[in-house]
Structure formats: structure tokens, C-alpha cells
Structure 1
């Protein structure tokens, strides 16, 4: 391999991805109307990695010089003790940024201090409205709004970086300015993240009662730009969940995958929003998958063929002949070490 090849292809020299998002559990203490992976009710939650399997994974990836490791879910704090143990080990291995997401129901002062002491330095809490009516309606349980506000205040008090996620729906989309105002007054050391409602999992079944119209989206983006143009200390970050699906399959030159998703049962997926599993930690270690080309997985034909079925948000739950919908149908499982991701016949 020439020096030019190495410079043009970062995947040839990187020890691993920059970021890993790991669903430490898909069990959940809520049944939110918009949950894209149907947490609490999906098949993954019945076959999760054991504590020892998780720690083997942590030991493996902790040596890859990660920029960030994020514990996702499900409700992550249902495995709080394991998060503390895993975070402590990641910290000792030199991983500087360890984050997690939570619905905040189980987040109290003692828990925050335990997480902080073991290396967790950023926690994301959802705030889906400026008042209890809208937030609790989406979260499908009363009292969750108050818990979220309390948790955000505690994170500020205990000096833990706090990011807040806001999911727009037809009944809260007009509350973004008030949400921004609430968080600005608290003075969170993070950002307010907003992205379109993903019509997957539980949101697929609740689309008629929660979906946002195109006009509402236009007004929301306009309002976000207006707020950000005021140069406030709290920036609103607008995200596009399908940007990577289009970018990776259409780019003229290969791109190294710098963000990897691992499910609670050990499945490694090309994207959290595609029904394509390319490996499982019970078959091979994560480092074996990386060394076998996980960083260049989009150079293969099958990921691109599947990604072509999604070009906009409305396509995420669209029925496609021969291509399942993630979190609704059985995934396509092609272990990249054992099978060829360029062989289209494997889709059958």
C-alpha cells in the first residue's frame, strides 16, 4: 500500500471509529409515542448482552483511542451499575468523552455523582415541550416533565455537561422558543438538539396523532434560525437523521465510517435507521469487524442498495418490496466477516 493510498483512506490507519453509540439496554420504564426503536417492546430487549459480554466489548474498544463513547437505549439507567463499571474502565483506558442519554426518571443527585465519578461527563435529557401537557403527552406518562426539569437543574448544579433533545410533534412544535428560554435561564453547559420526527418503531403506529406537517417544519426551522441569529449562549443544533444515508451512498470517493452503532444484543448495524446487520459481538469482536473493513463498509454494494430506499424522512417507514423496515420487520443479517456485502444475491 502506498503512502498516497493511506492518506486518501483514513480507514487504513485508524485503530477504530471516532465514536461508538451502544444501546446498553432496550428495556425501558416508559412507552413514548415516538420511540424509533420501540424500546421496551422490541425483540432485542429479550436477548441483551450479559454484563461480562458488555465488559469484554468495553475492553476491546477502549483501546481504540475513541473520541466519544455513548451509552444509549432504552432507558440506560436500568443498567446504571454496569454503566458505572464500564465508564470507569473506559476512563482508565484513556477515553476522554463518555456520554449517555436518559429520560431522567431515575436521575437524582446521588446517581449523577456516581456517574460523574466513574467518568461520564455528558448526559442528554429529553425535553419535548415547554410544559407538562406536551412533554408528558409524548412520553405517555404524567410527571415526566417535572422529572426532566429537575434533572437538568441538578446536572447544572453538579457541573455535568447537559445536552437536551427536543423532538417536534404536531402539538409541541410551536414551543421551541419557550423550551430554549427555559434552558437558557437554567444555563445548561451543552446544546439543544432538534431533528425531525423519525417515523419508525412506535412512531410508525402513532404517525396520525403526532406527525408534523411540512409547513410546521418550515416554521420550526425558520424559528431556530431566528433564535440562533440572536447570538444566544445556547445554540440550537438542527440535525438530519438521513444525511449520512445519502452522503455515504452518493459520494464519489470512499469515506471512512467514524460513527458505529451497536445494539443491546451485540448486533452491529450500518446505520441505526437501516435494517442491515453486518455482524454481532457474539460471533466476532468489534476490533475484528473493524480490521475486516467495517470502517469502509459503505464501499460495498448492499448497504447502498438498501439506503437508496430512503431519500427523505417520509421514506423511513415506507414499505419496499424485498427490503424490510427497521424495527418493524426482520432485519437483513449478513455477517461481513463470513459473507460478501458486495454479493447482491445475499439480499435474498
Structure 2
């Protein structure tokens, strides 16, 4: 699950990599799932805003993302802020519902220095999107402006879906629609019980099986379109059950394909495998990939192996658990298993679960 993860030591940073500024709380929509409960007039003053931007620009962060509310309701202030940041070599992005865009506005944003726009689109059709957004014309306007951005090609953009109980059934159809219209990437947010979404949690909130389904769809189409989780992985951890969902594998016979044989080196880290380690084909784990397994009781490098799942390694601080497979189901205790897998599990807060 660590592929593509960039680790940056905070001691080398002079400022945060990114700031998110809600430039306004005003909004032209009243979305059921709004994290910010946007729509009131409680805004920062222009004087306060420009002072904030000047101070942040001196820190030289990598990116400033303007959000809201709907930031284009304060287009003049947004453009002025973007010009200041551009002069100070700070990258600028924008999160918008897309309804206030047109060709002129897109050119204005591009010239001022906006490099990327995230456009909220919560379904593949007007029925689900308009229901969630509370506007009968929301889908038509937003999708029209996404196509405009795609045709103009002067600002990088991504349609972003907030997945919830209402639209999860349409998630695969949404991905297919994006691919058919030649969009290069899409963003994903997972619903959280914040703001207005908290008031509608009975209608909107997902369960853990929904998260597994999302991972399955992402895995299915990841080679056809770039799919980006726009929010912290804590959104996934929020849905993690208190105990492992891997219990269904206990005492079952499985086949393991060994991709990290005994004595091989981890492809990314300075770890040598003291056990054969691999995956169970045609399964899906919490990270969207196949379920991983340690093989114990075998002392030669293997290519594949059949055995019984004798234990689960439940990682309390990770999103995926591991299985332990052996031909000797009653030979090993929890303490012995813990000692055998310690070479890798020492990096995690984990516990051994046995039947």
C-alpha cells in the first residue's frame, strides 16, 4: 500500500506544503453533504483576507487552495489574492461547484495564476447530483463547464465526487462516464459526519463494506483513469471496524502466490523477509489490493503455497490486516507467531488473532 507514497521529513520544511482557505461561507447551493454547512454570511473581511494572503505568501508554501462556500461568489477578491500569490511564486488551486464558470471566467482564473480546479460532481446523471445539491439545474451547468474546461485545456482540473450512501450505487457509472468523455483524472472524497452532512447522516453515511466496494471499483479502473483520494486517508480509517474483518478466513484452506520469497529484500525499504510472503489471488483487502499472507513452517524460498489460515495479524494503526498460513494448524502459539513476523510487524501496532 506504500507505493507512490512520498515521505517528507518535517524538519526540512520551512512552512506547510499547502494551506486551504475558505474565502467565503456564502454558497449558491445547499448541498445535503456539505462538510462546512456553507450558506451563511459569516465571512472574513477583505482587509483581513489580503493581510492573511500577504503573510502566507511570505512563508512560500507549495500551494494555496481556495475553497468555501463557493469561492467564485467572491471572484474579485479571489483574482486579487491569486495575483499576489503568483507574484510570490506560490501555486494556487480552487475547489468549486462549477456552476459559475464560463469561458471568460476560466480565462480570468488562468491569467491570474490558478493552476488547478477541483469541480464537484456527485453522480453520472441529473437525478442523483441535483438531489444532493438541491438545485434542478446543477448537473447540467456543472457538466457543461467540465466539458468546457476539458476543451479549453488552459487549467488543469478534476471532477470530484463525494461518495455517500445516496450515490455509491452510481459510483462505477460515474467513473465510466469520466473515461468516455476523455477526462484525465477524477477526485474522490468520502463522506464524513461534519457540517450539514452530520444533520443528514442517517441518509448519507457509509459503512465499512461500502468502503471495500469503493476500493474494488478504484482498483478495477485505475489503469484507465487517474483516481485521486482528495482527502486524508483518515477518511478511510474512520470507517475501519474495531476488529479485523479477516475472521472469515480463519481455518480455511487458501492458496498463496509468493511475491516476496524467503530472504528477499523489500522493494522499498531496508527489510529482508525472514518468511515467505505473498498474496491470496482473487481476494480484496482493505487497501483495494489482494489479501497478504505470511507463510510459516517452510524453510525454502517458494513460488506458491497451499495451507490453512491459522491466524490474523490485526494492525490497529494501518488500514489492512495480514493472514498467517501454515500446513500445521495447531503447532504455533500466538507468541511464536509474533516472534516469527516481528521482522516486519515491529513497524506496526498489531495483535495476533486466532480461533
Structure 2 length normalisation: TM-score? 0.61
Q: Does residue 174 in structure 1 map to residue 169 in structure 2? A: yes
Matched ranges for 1:125-274 at <5 A: 125-159=119-153, 160-189=155-184, 191-228=185-222, 231-232=223-224, 234-238=225-229, 241=232, 243=234
SS in 1 for 2:228: strand
Question: How far did 1:242 drift?
Answer: 5.9
Distance 1:143 1:21 in 2: 28
Question: How far did 1:218 drift?
Answer: 2.1
CA 71–238 in structure 1, closer or farther in 2 if over 3 Å, else same: closer
Q: Does residue 15 in structure 1 map to residue 17 in structure 2? A: no
Distance 2:109 2:50 in 1: 17
Distance 1:244 1:197 in 2: 8
> Which of these residues, 95, 112, 118, is aligned with residue 118 of structure 1?
112
> Which of these residues, 46, 49, 53, is aligned with residue 51 of structure 1?
46
CA RMSD across the alignment? 2.5
For 2:290, the equivalent position in structure 1 comes to none
Greater share of strand: 2
| Runs of 5+ consecutive residues of structure 1 not aligned to the other structure | 1-7, 247-310, 313-348
Question: How far did 1:75 drift?
Answer: 0.5
Distance 1:188 1:113 in 2: 20
Give the paired residue count: 232
Question: How far did 1:93 drift?
Answer: 1.0
For 2:34, the equivalent position in structure 1 comes to 35
CA 240–117 in structure 1, closer or farther in 2 if over 3 Å, else same: closer
SS in 2 for 1:124: strand
Question: How far did 1:49 drift?
Answer: 2.0
> Which of these residues, 59, 63, 67, is aligned with residue 62 of structure 2?
67
Contact 1:161 1:188 in 2 (8 A): no
Distance 2:146 2:189 in 1: 20
For 1:321, the equivalent position in structure 2 comes to none
SS in 2 for 1:195: strand
For CA contacts below 8 A with separation 6 or more, give which structure has more relative contact order.
1
Distance 1:146 1:60 in 2: 39
Structure 1 length normalisation: TM-score? 0.62
Greater share of helix: 1
Question: How far did 1:64 drift?
Answer: 1.9
